[in-house]
Structure 1
């Protein structure tokens, strides 16, 4: 995190899930040795399975509660200290596809942080949340001179500006650029990284999506000749044909 004065604060991930992985693996092994439910055969779970499964769920619930408590403390402190908070619209679903980072990203809870900041800032009235556009180059823009790199691979963790010679951690550089967006969004002035336009603020999820147009269903016609439907017409034709044919005896 970075504020408007340039001070950078680091909030390390608590890693509650990593701390409980060993306990979860042990609990899962115990559950797998018990007779569990089977929908195909209609088998009912044993009491030992229900007890072991309840013990495993207890560990999962504790991890979720610890994560939620840590996020509440972080977002409450941020909302109480700052008047305007700028967050980045991260593609969390795409980040979860990286098998090396998926577990830690899911344990961090980026979506929950954004949700809590949103309603806590609205509750305080004096604080507001600005969501930077997903395509704003916060990491590739120099926080010193505003120059933008063409590419910056993810494995490059240090940002080195060729224009002004700035050398800084890429996450710290991105945080400084997001902090500079406050002045642009509030006063409309130019800030580092602006591409001759004001930074875009993303809309809530689903705001740009179009819904399917509803079509009015047509009512069924009154039928064919004589006002009868097709099955009724066929029955009448068969009855008339039977009555018209003479009776033959062998």
Structure 2
């Protein structure tokens, strides 16, 4: 499937609305999502069956020419095979006509993407953590979701209903006037719709091609550096020297007392037990729903806070500099993991990236993960070799500057915008990242005047480990060159 490319001046935007389906409509929604999961499991089993068959034949000494052919996992091939099997397969023959064809296409498309990602990861063509082969989705754990790309997909004229294929007209919990007004004006065109069950209720997301006029920011010539933290959600320092601190609301910490009470009630009810087959009681389900409601409220409050923060920043500054934090590694600290998760570091960077690019045509710069923003003096540029986390005040040994640690880091990030070129220490968000070789030396280099003088007397000679690092960088760059 080709990726949709919007026309010039148009962007692809999602509009999500909560639904209020009745009992019949909710049953149909669950049936469609279950059909998508069943089609996904069928595709995984159909493709991997040829893998196991080939392995069994190889154990008998059969040559390559006599082995069973590999079954393809492209979406057209899966659709063709599924359409032939759904009439005779006992898992689908009795009920496949009850749901829209889009439900089965959703599962097949997800399976095709999963096999494609696995193949790219195995061949080293996919960034990130190595992915394993697709596995079957459990009925108990699988997320309920289904996507519609063809058929009747519209927002009704009354602004309180939506119409989807085979599901009919469903009432929305909130008005749909934002999307309806654009559709009527001809500045939006609905491409697809996805229904999903999360946080205890149903949602529908419309993917639309929207004509968006860029809005001029308030201070286009000013760059801001944003330092993220636990005590303070964000410390912002702009290129004019102004510093602002955004306190961390700590939504989860505020709700912990209520969560403890709700969890205590759940623990005193008869819950499910997979070992004995015990099913939960009605009182357990009611108590568990009350506890989940608290979790959902915390998630909604966190999302609202982050959106308000990122929207305000994107609408004010012409350049935004954020840190490339290793959030996954930071979560290994058991003393800070809960607060880091509650802050949402990765979500802040993601929202800033698309809001600056699509809404204001400004740029977001990501500082290198090893850039010593906290260790560098914002006045003279001297770098400390070590700065423990418990030291919250930065004291420069060269110029005597005394400043808050977070304020100093934010000022350094703001100053980094002037030197950003898309490569090196900092770069644009869309620029390819410069990979580092394993066991590369990431120690902070001190730039105290005394050390600079010693380096000058030494004639600028490089140390052995520095020469080894430079050689590894050159070797890796030559290996990645396409020609």
Task: Output the TM-score relative to the length of structure 2.
Answer: 0.40
Q: Secondary structure at the match of 1:172?
A: helix
Matches within 5 A, 1:184-223: 184-185=419-420, 199-201=425-427
2 CA distance for matches of 1:93 and 1:157? 23
1:24 aligns with 2:250: no
Which of 59, 65, 69 is residue 300 of structure 2 equivalent to? 65
What's 1:219 paired with?
A: none
Separation in 1 of the partners of 2:318 and 2:260? 44
Which residue in the other structure is 1:175 paired with? 410
Q: 1:2 aligns with which of 237, 255, 259?
A: 237
Counterpart Cα distance in 2 of 1:36 and 1:181: 54
1:129 is aligned, of 364, 370, 392, to 364
Query: Among 332, 336, 350, which residue is 1:97 paired with?
Result: 332
Can you list the C-alpha shifts for 1:186-225, whole angstroms capped at 9, x where unaligned?
A: 6x9xxxxxxxx95233877x9659xxxxxxxxxxxxxxxx
Residue 54, structure 1, aligned to residue 280, structure 2: no
Please state whether the residue corresponding to 2:366 is helix, strand or coil.
strand
Contact 2:375 2:384 in 1 (8 A): yes
- Pairs aligned (count): 199
CA contact (8 A) 1:20 1:63 kept: yes
Instruction: Kindly report the root-mean-square deviation, in angstroms, between the aligned alpha carbons of the 2 structures.
Output: 2.1
Q: Is the CA contact 2:322–2:365 (under 8 Å) kept in the aligned structure 1?
A: yes
Looking at structure 1, the residues matched to 404 and 327 of structure 2 have their Cα atoms a distance apart, in angstroms, of 22
CA gap 1:144/1:198 in 2 versus in 1, 3 angstroms:
farther
* Correspondence for 1:160: 395
Q: How big is the shift at 1:143?
A: 0.3
Post-superposition CA distance 1:54-91 (Å, at most 9, x none): 00000000000000000000000000000110000111
Match in the other structure for 1:33: 268
Distance 1:20 1:112, change over 3 A: same
Deviation of 1:92 after TM superposition, in Å, equals 1.3
Is contact 1:34–1:48 with CA below 8 Å preserved after alignment? yes
Secondary structure in 1 matching 2:315: helix
8 Å Cα contact 2:330-2:337 kept in structure 1: yes
5+ residue gaps in structure 2? 1-235, 437-483
- 2:364–2:428 Cα contact (<8 Å) kept: no
CA distance in 2, matches of 1:153, 1:51: 47
Q: Which secondary structure does the structure 2 equivalent of 1:144 belong to?
A: coil
Q: d(CA) in 1 for partners of 2:358 and 2:409?
A: 28
Identify unmatched segments of 5+ residues in structure 1: 189-196, 210-250
SS in 2 for 1:18: helix
Q: Compute the displacement of 1:95 (Å).
A: 1.7
Q: SS at 2:427's partner residue?
A: coil
Greater relative contact order (CA < 8 Å, ≥ 6 in sequence): 1
Q: Which has the larger radius of gyration?
A: 1
Q: Confirm or deny that 1:86 pairs with 2:321.
A: yes
Secondary structure at 1:36's aligned position in 2? coil
